[in-house]
Amino acid sequence: MMSPFLLSILVSSVLGLGLAIPSYTCIVMGNLDIIRKKGKLSPTDVIFLAKGIVNLLLQCVMSLQGMFFVLCPKTLYIIQVFVFVNTFINFLTYYSFWLTFWLSAHYCTTITNLSYGFFIWLKRIVSNYLSQLLFLTALGTIIVSVPAIWDVQAESPIHSSENSTEDSVTRYHSSLTYFVPTNTVGVILPFCLSLLCLVLTSSFLLRHVWRVKNNDSGSTRPNLQAHVTALRTIFFLLLMSTFFCISRILMFFRNPTKFIVIMLTVNLSLRLLSPSVEAAVIFQASNKLRRTILSRFWTRSQRNTET
């Protein structure tokens, strides 16, 4: 009988993979259509395209890892498989966090128009050198992730609880001397910077709305729908990132209570689904992408009807 923990991991893995493949295929193909029609992408669309590719790969690897963990756990305890899977997942996760920050920084510098030198410099490089910036970010996350290959430690062999006659299984993990600094650079730093951008953008818009509301000049209130969509996008992306952070913290409990096990089950399930959920966040953030995808499907359906 499969335990609820393993069942939730299996269901989340299969569901996440089933949702991610069609969703991110539409996102990537939609952006390629925009490039073909207009010749270039806006900064947000460039980040969405990078997010789509990264999250699709991340969802595929995490779903396969979850399926193997439930159906064939010994495979994951082969040292070569463990090193490859964890290094690849770490790279994609760190890069996804930094993509969220660059999107947040773009929204923040575009909406707030802060006059500080740092924000002026940040707006200039995001606007003019975004592709190079994303390439350097990917290179940096690779450099941070690769040392995990040489930093694997083996735990003492354990026996399966289901059958004590089975061969012993050696489990592996990364040492704290590697885990703490890499997760600080790859997870905590971009998460905090994205949160700062969210706070700055929210406070700027609230002050702006308050000033317009109390303005006696009789000017009409501007349309802030695009700004609200940007804030909502950053908020949901950070919410998805929170599940990853919580699940990492809960996994450090060596003797978890029943409540901790339930929390870990919920968070791991949400973590497995988070790349697929981010596809919905990207769809709601880009009107251009939605129109391109809808027109593509409408044209295809019209052709099928005519034939």
pLDDT of residue 136: 94
Give the DSSP H or E segment for 165: none
pLDDT of residue 307: 53
Please list, residue by residue across 188-212, b when 16 or more beta carbons sit within 10 angstroms of its beta carbon and e when fewer do: eebbebbbebbebbbebbeeeeeee
Q: How confident is the model over 102-142, as pLDDT tens digits?
A: 999 989 888 887 777 777 888 888 888 888 999 999 999 99
SS3 content of the chain, % helix, strand, coil (to 5): 80, 5, 15
Question: Regarding predicted confidence, which is higher, 16 or 296?
Answer: 16
pLDDT of residue 306: 55
221 has pLDDT over 80: no
192 has pLDDT over 90: yes
Please report how the helices 79-112 and 43-71 are oriented relative to each other, as an axis angle in degrees rounded to 10: 150
Q: How confident is the model over 241-267, as pLDDT tens digits?
A: 887 777 777 766 666 677 777 777 887
Q: How distant is the alpha carbon of residue 253 from its chain centre?
A: 24
Q: Which stretches of 219-286 are DSSP H helices?
A: 225-250, 258-285
Q: In the chain, what are the domains?
A: 4-152+170-213+222-301 (1.20.1070.10)
pTM for the full model?
0.84
pLDDT of residue 166: 42
